[in-house]
Amino acid sequence: MTSSVAQTPIARKISTNAVIRTVFANGSISRADIAKLTGLSKQTISDVVRDLEDDGWLKPVGQTDGRPGRNAITYEINARAGLAVSIDLGSTKIAAAICDLLGNVVAETKVSTDPRGGMHLVNQFSDLIVELASAAGTGADKLRLVVLGSPGVLDPATGHINVAPSIPGIDAINLRQVFSDRMGIPVIVENDVNLAAQGERWRGHGIETNNFAFVALGTGVGMGIIANGTLLRGARGAAGEIAYLPIGGDVFDPGGFTLGTFESAVGSVAMLRRYVGFGGRNASTVADLFAAFNAGETSAAAAIEETARLVAVAIAAIGAALDPELVITGGSIGARPELVNAIRGFLPRCTPYPPRIEISRFGNRAALMGGMGIAVERMHDDLFGVKLREV
Amino acid sequence: MTSSVAQTPIARKISTNAVIRTVFANGSISRADIAKLTGLSKQTISDVVRDLEDDGWLKPVGQTDGRPGRNAITYEINARAGLAVSIDLGSTKIAAAICDLLGNVVAETKVSTDPRGGMHLVNQFSDLIVELASAAGTGADKLRLVVLGSPGVLDPATGHINVAPSIPGIDAINLRQVFSDRMGIPVIVENDVNLAAQGERWRGHGIETNNFAFVALGTGVGMGIIANGTLLRGARGAAGEIAYLPIGGDVFDPGGFTLGTFESAVGSVAMLRRYVGFGGRNASTVADLFAAFNAGETSAAAAIEETARLVAVAIAAIGAALDPELVITGGSIGARPELVNAIRGFLPRCTPYPPRIEISRFGNRAALMGGMGIAVERMHDDLFGVKLREV
DNA sequence: TCCCATTTGTCAAGGACATAGACAAATTGC
DNA sequence: GCAATTTGTCTATGTCCTTGACAAATGGGA
């Protein structure tokens, strides 16, 4: 009788959520306008905004001016009220950034990966975060979340990395758990190519597309799939593992098991082997090969063309299975316009409805961007999400 | 001031939804137990149940007995309060059924498809529905929804059928619109293989699996994909159109454009051609071919084995792209255990993580089941769903 | 300069919905 | 027959939202 505990938090949550979303969508806005846009009453908006301001989520930012009538106080999101970390773990480099509630990058850095792997990486991440937080003028205790992109196949339930050939010792520990315990905040681990797809979805070519695929071509190959607007992970987290596509070789050859038939046919090693096979002698790296191509060398052209042909067939297969509207390419090979143009040439000859092909908007920052996108989305959910009780 | 209009329907909607879900999940149940399970107060449950009973959604059904304390009145869903129609349109047969809110079939029938196609089919559907409603002891006006499964590629937004080679004149009209106007209730049009996948998801092998594919093998081939627990349609509704997979032939051969490379290689026509090529002479239909196989004929065995090999490669490709936990096969060829056993033999030799393979639980009723599953789900959503206003 | 239309934001009253606790009614078991 | 138990209603109370009135603030024109 003294005081009821929490009777109907749901109605206020819904209102709060509506207010926050409106402010996110409209930037600096007055309470009167929020009321008009949400359809809620002025009174309710005033109450909700007061609470949000008291808790630091909104801040008054100015006044309307120049129109008849009393000036309104305008409010906007206090972006610094929520900060999160995105880390892209690569075999040679680690990129990391801190972003705020609006997705603004407030600090970013890049270092060499500790070659000892395993727990040493956790230490490295931890140091990196402290350093970034300091650069952002805040404490590590203000961070709410870490999103970590890593190569390898991840168990979607636990975030445990099952196969990560290029990072030593990382499949031996439960990276998500260990790292989360160390930092004291939630850690989300996601495949780096999946993150790249999310990055394009968030602020890249996929921003208006609910069905697309991000295809990474480099030393290895991989794919991130956005279908119905959300990321596809598959039953064991191995969706998009196109290394194993039965294209470019004999799938019944047991050699394809370990390396993957398609990866063996279009990875950088295969491309260079192909170049040598065609008589090329002036390239020991993929960059060299493309330089040779641009210098007019026919063996380089042949190597690129054959690779493009196989990639086009793979995209045709993906198109038949998933019907994407768009395929975004990235990675050291996939980001080369020379290759992509060749793919564009082959595609209409092997599939009746070729998807559009674009090169990643973010280059090698795509995964980092995706991590930030997920972090922002997750922060919004945690802070303002309306969760209905499951019965 | 006279009376407020509809201030906070959301709280009551949430409570109502919780009650309905609890009754669905638990069957015959007392108000006191609903209160315990939902965590809502007895008072609220009594109010909500009274409203639901007044509107005909719940009905009292008995009393508890044998335990100490006052006996409780138990309630259950009034299944007949919502009826819907599922229709599976095939090139030769139309199957149709009426089901109630709980998914019970209350009337079912099967007739030959009107060969004139087009508008004649709408007439046929309409007559069929009146007849079924009468058999179910109700009027057609009690029906809330029709789900229609059809071959062909459907525009996910409009439900318009773009390509349906086996049904004449059906791509010339907006079937969903015309049929819906005729019946005066919403019509959902969905690809038949997608519906089959939904059927397995609802009450078949996919009931506990969030990531699986239904592969239909017969005169044509097709696939329905359930990923993250929901159906994948793709950008143009063509997800799962594995007829065009670059497997079993040269994808750069323009002939594959119209028929589809994979379909040309494993459809029933290809299978019979292959049988003849191996010297077989005793089969003019696929059923004959399997009979010949079971009689020990080697050319039949060879034809089946080669088909199984190609299907296994296709499943490997699908596995690489989607990582399903399970592949369910159906269709006149895909439902044959002889073929599926052969596929199971090939699969581990061409992919490192072969998915489980099962034959459809419902045979040629899978699409009809899927339509009922969608209808039931949609009725629940319409009747008791909690929709938050989008800002 | 003054007044008026316009807009903002608060106040006050009232309704819908939920909760908690008291209590009557119904039932079993000793 | 009585105690224990369970059901379901009644009463009181609190939160949240809405509506309409109203004060405060502002620009524009007479």
Distance, angstroms, CA B6 to C1' C14? 14
Residue A51 predicted with pLDDT over 90: yes
**Per-residue pLDDT, B370:** 98
Residue A17 predicted with pLDDT over 50: yes
Inter-CA distances, A267 with A81, A286, A291, A304, A332, Å: 44, 10, 18, 11, 10
The closest of B257, B336, B350 to B303, measured between CA atoms, is B336
The closest of B306, B321, B382 to B355, measured between CA atoms, is B321
Per-residue pLDDT band for A8 (boundaries 50, 70, 90) equals very low
Least confident of A171-180, A338-347, B107-116, B194-203: A171-180
8 A C-beta contact, residue A313 and residue B246: yes
**Per-residue pLDDT, B256:** 65
B40 CB-to-strand C distance under 7 Å: yes
Q: What is the DSSP letter of A239?
A: T
Touching A: B residues 31-50, CB under 8 Å: 37-39
**Per-residue pLDDT, A326:** 98
User: B391, A37: Cβ pair inside 8 Å?
Assistant: yes
Per-residue pLDDT band for A67 (boundaries 50, 70, 90) equals confident
**Per-residue pLDDT, B5:** 36
| Residue to substitute from B210, B323, B357, B389, interface A, most A β-carbons within 10 A | B323
| Positions of E strands within A33-92 | 58-63, 73-77, 83-89
A69 CB-to-strand C distance under 7 Å: yes
**Per-residue pLDDT, A362:** 97
Per-residue pLDDT band for A7 (boundaries 50, 70, 90) equals very low
Measured between CA atoms, the residue of chain A closest to residue B243 is A320
Q: How far apart are CA B346 and CA B313, in angstroms?
A: 8
Q: How far apart are CA B33 and CA B30, in angstroms?
A: 5
Residue A375 predicted with pLDDT over 90: yes
Measured between CA atoms, the residue of chain B closest to residue A44 is B7
- Which residue's C-alpha is at the least distance from the C1' of D13? A1
Measured between CA atoms, the residue of chain A closest to residue B16 is A391
8 A C-beta contact, residue B212 and residue B226: yes
Q: What pTM does this model have?
A: 0.92
Residue A101 predicted with pLDDT over 90: yes
Residue type, A47: D
Intervals of chain B under pLDDT 70: 1-8, 164, 255-257, 388-391
Task: Name the region of B242 (left: φ>0; alpha: ψ -120 to 50; beta: rest).
Answer: alpha
Mean pLDDT over A300-321 rounds to: 97
B123 token code pair: 């007439």
Does residue A257 sit at the B interface (CB-CB below 8 Å)?
yes
**Per-residue pLDDT, B303:** 97
- Which residue's C-alpha is at the least distance from the C1' of C13? B1
Q: Which residues of A touch B10 (CB under 8 A)?
A: 10-11, 14
User: B244, A316: Cβ pair inside 8 Å?
Assistant: yes
Closest nucleotide relative to residue A46's CA, C1' based: C9
Per-residue pLDDT band for A256 (boundaries 50, 70, 90) equals low
| Residue to substitute from A153, A154, A244, interface B, most B β-carbons within 10 A | A244
Q: How far apart are CA A367 and CA A94, in angstroms?
A: 11
Inter-CA distances, B283 with B223, B265, B279, B332, B343, Å: 27, 18, 11, 15, 22
A3 CB-to-strand D distance under 7 Å: yes
8 A C-beta contact, residue A246 and residue B313: yes
Q: How far apart are CA A239 and CA A236, in angstroms?
A: 8
**Per-residue pLDDT, A1:** 31
**Per-residue pLDDT, A252:** 87
Residue indicated by tokens 């060299």: A288
* Long-range contacts from A248-256, C-beta under 8 angstroms, 24+ separation: A248/A310, A248/A313, A248/A314, A251/B313, A251/B316, A251/B350, A251/B351, A252/B349, A252/B350, A256/B350
8 A C-beta contact, residue A195 and residue A88: yes
* Nearest CB to B11; choose among A10, A239, A350: A10
**Per-residue pLDDT, B276:** 96
A4 CB-to-strand C distance under 7 Å: yes
Please tell me the distance in Å from A237's CA to the nearest CA on chain B.
7
User: Which 43-72 residues of chain A approach strand D with CB closer than 7 Å?
Assistant: 43-44, 47-48, 63, 65-71
| Residue to substitute from A5, A17, A37, A322, interface B, most B β-carbons within 10 A | A322
Least confident of A53-67, A226-240, B212-226, B321-335: A53-67
Inter-CA distances, A298 with A50, A175, A287, A293, B365, Å: 69, 47, 16, 7, 57
Residue A150 predicted with pLDDT over 90: yes
Per-residue pLDDT band for A390 (boundaries 50, 70, 90) equals very low
Q: How far apart are CA B351 and CA A275, in angstroms?
A: 28
User: A320, B244: Cβ pair inside 8 Å?
Assistant: yes
Mean pLDDT over A58-84 rounds to: 92
Mean pLDDT over A83-106 rounds to: 97
**Per-residue pLDDT, B175:** 92
**Per-residue pLDDT, B251:** 84
Residue indicated by tokens 């045709």: A316
**Per-residue pLDDT, A388:** 60
Q: What is the DSSP letter of A388?
A: P
B34 CB-to-strand C distance under 7 Å: no
Mean pLDDT over A334-345 rounds to: 98
Helix axis angle for B31-38 and B42-54, nearest 10°, is 120
3-state secondary structure chain B: CCCCCCCCHHHHHHHHHHHHHHHHHHCCEEHHHHHHHHCCCHHHHHHHHHHHHHCCCEEEEEECCCCCCCCCEEEEECHHHCEEEEEEECCCEEEEEEEECCCCEEEEEEEECCCCCCHHHHHHHHHHHHHHHHHCCCCHHHEEEEEEEECCEECCCCCCEEECCCCCCCCCCCHHHHHHHHHCCCEEEEEHHHHHHHHHHHHCHHHHCCCEEEEEECCCEEEEEEECCEECCCCCCCCCCHHHCCCCCCCCCCHHHHHCHHHHHHCHHHHHHHHHHCCCCCCCCHHHHHHHHHCCCHHHHHHHHHHHHHHHHHHHHHHHHHCCCEEEEEHHHHCCHHHHHHHHHHHHHHCCCCCEEEECCCHHHHHHHHHHHHHHHHHHHHHHCCCCCCC
